Structure 1
Amino acid sequence: MTHPDPMSRAVAARRHAAGMDYAVLLSAGERPLALVEFWPRRMWRVYLFDDRSWRVQMIDLKPHSTGMLLAHRNVRWQFAGEREHASGKRDVQETTTVSADGQVEVRSEVAGPRGASTEPSRAGTSGPFPAPVEDFLYPVPEFGDWQVFAPLLAQQGHEPAATIVLNDVSVDEGAGPLRATGIERLFSPGACDAPDGPGVVEPVDAGLLRITSGRLAVSDPGWIDENARGVAVPPGEFPVTLSLLRTARETGVAAARVTFLDVPPSEWDMLLRPDEDLGLLGEGQFYGVGVDTGTAAFLDATRRVTEERLDEDVFLPLDSEFSVELPGTESEPNLIAFRAGRGDGSYPVWIGRTDEGQVGCVVVDFQLRSADGEK
């Protein structure tokens, strides 16, 4: 019934209009009834809860040629007890699929005997058989029109009243998207507080990055084409600095910076792609560089790397080093890769600008510690 980072109605409405995902919890008092998820491509998913507040059913709805939503998949789960529910061990899973023209197929899977070293399941299928497709169609809701999903509650034995009144739980707009506070302190040497206890910040030189095209890219080196975030910068060679965070538990790369002007930034901007809108983010959220190989890199936007070179010249050296330079030819720019915090995930990238709006530096914060000095 609670969420650590609830989204305000205003943010959800903007995400709805932009076709971006969000979720709505429908509840009565302290009892959850349904979790409604809005997905890209105007699809919806509804989870239903039983009297024990267990999530026991999932209904997927997609646009239909009639202009309505088709409940094309309906999955029900049965659990032997609370322990099995908590661990996701289902005794029975029944899946009903409905085609666009009303052909229905039902598949049941029953778990094998308990206590066996392996638990094979038995499956059975019935259908397909015809049914009126109208029985599976629902109106497409406008934002806030959650009563569209009320009839689905009857599938769990709930009986909606003749008049349904939905009241929004108040959620403040909050402070908005993640803010760049104290980024400079990520590179200040000395003692600091970290989630794992006392730590020490140690800035280290990671080499000179050569920019030839006038555009910097920040990316997982294994996914440059799909993942890179870019910004216009002057050509030349520029120092890269890593901020190492040493604690009793481990040493990790807390942040990485490439410096273009030896001038303290007067403001910080999140590095965005053209199609990204800060107004669609909830409190503390950010658009970041995605990491899927445990590695991030600064590089010229024109630089590409073959898979063979990545394995031999980047990933293997990073097993024992915090950073590695992948040299280029005389005319080809280099690449500087480094370990990404504690591994895969998404990390904010900040542009430090001068009073004149020039790019003074670019920083990737791997969020191993709070940049504003708080624990």
Structure 2
Amino acid sequence: MFRKIMARLTGKPPGRSGEARADLGAPAEPVTARPEVMTGAFEAGFVGEAADKRYPLRTLRIGEVNLASGRLVVADPFTVRGEDAPLDLELAPGRYPVDIAVADAGENGHRVALARVVLSPETPVRWTLAVTAEQGPATLNSGDIFGYGVDAGTAAFMDAGSVAWLAGLSFEESEVLTDGWQARGEALGPDLGIPYGFVLVEEVGPGGAAMFSSGWGDGFYASWVGHDAQDRPVQVVTDFAVITAVNIPRPR
């Protein structure tokens, strides 16, 4: 479900994260994307920061996601529900490249720090929080975000038609499908230099899904829309809080 939650400070493994809490009565201060990270993380030689840590990143293009309906859902593919709404974006039906930025976190392994779907080759000049049609950033308190929960250590860019198709499967059919995903995705991760990782791009019903490990694992993650100089959406990036990719307002 794409919902609202308090933003968590980035760059810390599970068990070490803090919270930026809202000051009741004060004007709301939004969480904002760091443009130099949203774009730089996918460029050669980028080094991400997380508190006192520095993580080199490398980019992998894992394939193209089939957005046959022109509607993009960001979700945990193993727990997505039929009522999960697509992002409020107008996209042409088609196939779009998907990249992951993998951080070398030393003894903590190789982690997918960010993932993006490239909607256009144009350069983003402005970033906004990704929302569904029912959500408004102006309703958020200081430090809050809209995003989605991950319970299976996996996130995805999915076609809305695929999400609806999955909802129509029986329990047995769904179990067979997801067992296959798990086997194939866990086999491909190490092949891409992500030990214990998961990567899979497949057709799912009438559309497709691009799936990948989510940062440190389960959590709640925001996505961001990059707009070009004509204010058209050109990228959607999900931040998995491995490196510091957003500005979180300080508690008052």
Q: Which has the higher contact order (CA 8 A, sep 6+)?
A: 2
1:354 pairs, out of 223, 228, 250, with: 228
1:189 counterpart = 2:44: yes
Structure 1 residues 186 and 283, CA gap change in structure 2 (3 angstroms): farther
Look up the match of 1:278.
137
Q: Distance in 2 between matches of 1:346 and 1:361?
A: 20
TM-score (norm 2): 0.73
Runs of 4+ in 1 over 4 A off after TM superposition: none
Three-state SS of the structure 1 residue aligned to 2:141 is: coil
1:201 counterpart = 2:51: no
**Displacement of 1:257:** 0.5
What's the % identity of the aligned pairs? 27
Structure 1 residues 225 and 218, CA gap change in structure 2 (3 angstroms): same
Given that 2:41 and 2:48 are in contact with CA atoms closer than 8 Å, whether structure 1 keeps it comes out as: no
Look up the match of 2:186.
319
Look up the match of 1:244.
102
Matches within 5 A, 1:41-80: none
Matches within 5 A, 1:5-16: 5-10=20-25
TM-score (norm 1): 0.51
**Displacement of 1:4:** 5.6
Letter of the 2:182 counterpart: F
Structure 1 residues 357 and 342, CA gap change in structure 2 (3 angstroms): same
Q: How many residues align?
A: 208
1:339 counterpart = 2:217: no
**Displacement of 1:372:** 6.1
Look up the match of 1:233.
91
Matches within 5 A, 1:152-171: none
Structure 1 residues 208 and 9, CA gap change in structure 2 (3 angstroms): same
Q: Distance in 2 between matches of 1:276 and 1:347?
A: 16
**Displacement of 1:369:** 0.3
Q: Distance in 2 between matches of 1:224 and 1:276?
A: 18
**Displacement of 1:364:** 0.6
Three-state SS of the structure 1 residue aligned to 2:211 is: strand
Q: State the superposition RMSD in angstroms.
A: 2.5
**Displacement of 1:310:** 4.2
Letter of the 1:348 counterpart: A
Deviations 1:242-265 (A, max 9, x none): 000012121111011010110011
**Displacement of 1:217:** 1.4
Look up the match of 1:218.
74
Structure 1 residues 260 and 275, CA gap change in structure 2 (3 angstroms): closer
Look up the match of 1:301.
160
**Displacement of 1:354:** 1.7
Q: Distance in 1 between matches of 2:82 and 2:19?
A: 34
Look up the match of 2:10.
none
Three-state SS of the structure 2 residue aligned to 1:189 is: coil
Deviations 1:241-299 (A, max 9, x none): 00000121211110110101100112111111233232332333211122122111112
Structure 1 residues 279 and 287, CA gap change in structure 2 (3 angstroms): same
